[in-house]
Amino acid sequence: MAGIGSLPLFHQIRGQKVLVLGEGEAAEPKRRLVERAGGIIEDDMQRAVDEGVRIAFVAYDDARACENAAINLRCAGMLVNVVDMPALCDFTTPSILDRDPVLIAVGTGGASAGLAKHVRLRLERILPETLGDLAKALFGARDRLRERFPQGAERRRALDEALREGGALDALDPASADRVDAWMEGAAAARQATGRHEIALTSTDPEMLTLRDARLLGEADTILLDGDIPEAILARARADAVRLPYGGVTHDETEAGLTVIMRAPPSTKA
* CATH number of the domain within which 232 lies: 3.40.1010.10
In a domain, 166, yes or no: yes
User: For residue 12, what are the contacts with CB-CB under 8 A and spacing of at least 6?
Assistant: none
**Which among 5, 1, 3, 4 has a CA at the least distance from the CA of 89?**
5
- The answer to whether position 161 is within a domain reads yes
Domain-located, residue 103: yes
| 201 lies in the same domain as 257 | yes
Q: Is 62 helix (H, G, I), strand (E, B) or coil?
A: coil
* Domain interval for residue 16: 11-91
Are 221 and 259 contained in the same domain?
yes
Last residue of a domain, one of 42, 73, 91: 91
Dist CA 166 CA 161 (whole Å):
9
Q: How many CB atoms neighbour CB 13 within 10 A?
A: 15
Same domain, residue pair 226 and 262: yes
pLDDT digit string (tens) for the chain, length 270 residues: 457 788 899 999 999 999 999 998 999 999 999 999 999 999 999 999 999 999 999 999 999 999 999 999 999 999 999 999 999 999 999 999 999 999 999 999 888 989 999 999 999 999 999 999 999 999 999 999 999 888 887 888 889 889 988 889 999 999 999 999 999 887 644 445 567 889 999 888 888 888 888 888 888 888 999 999 988 899 888 888 889 988 766 555 555 678 899 999 887 554
Flag whether 63 is in a domain. Answer: yes
Domain assignment present for 145: yes
CA-based nearest residue to 2, from 233, 268, 270: 233
Give yes or no: residues 33 and 49 share one domain: yes
For residue 92, count CB atoms less than 10 angstroms from its CB and return exposed for 0-12, middle for 13-18, buried for 19 or more: middle
Q: The domain that contains 101 carries what CATH number?
A: 3.30.160
C-alpha span between 128 and 99 (Å, rounded): 8
H or E segment to which residue 263 belongs: strand 258-263
The 3-state DSSP class for residue 81 equals strand
Q: Do 118 and 137 lie in a common domain?
A: no
Separation between Cα atoms, residue 116 and residue 111, nearest integer Å: 9
Instruction: Count the domains in the chain.
Output: 4
Answer yes or no: do 83 and 139 share one domain: no
Both 70 and 104 in a single domain?
no
Cα separations in angstroms, 57 against 48, 80, 134, 184: 12, 6, 34, 45
Residue 4 included in any domain? no
The one-letter amino acid at 104 = I
Q: Are residues 199 and 258 in the same domain?
A: yes
249 Rama sector, left if φ>0, alpha if ψ -120 to 50, beta otherwise: beta
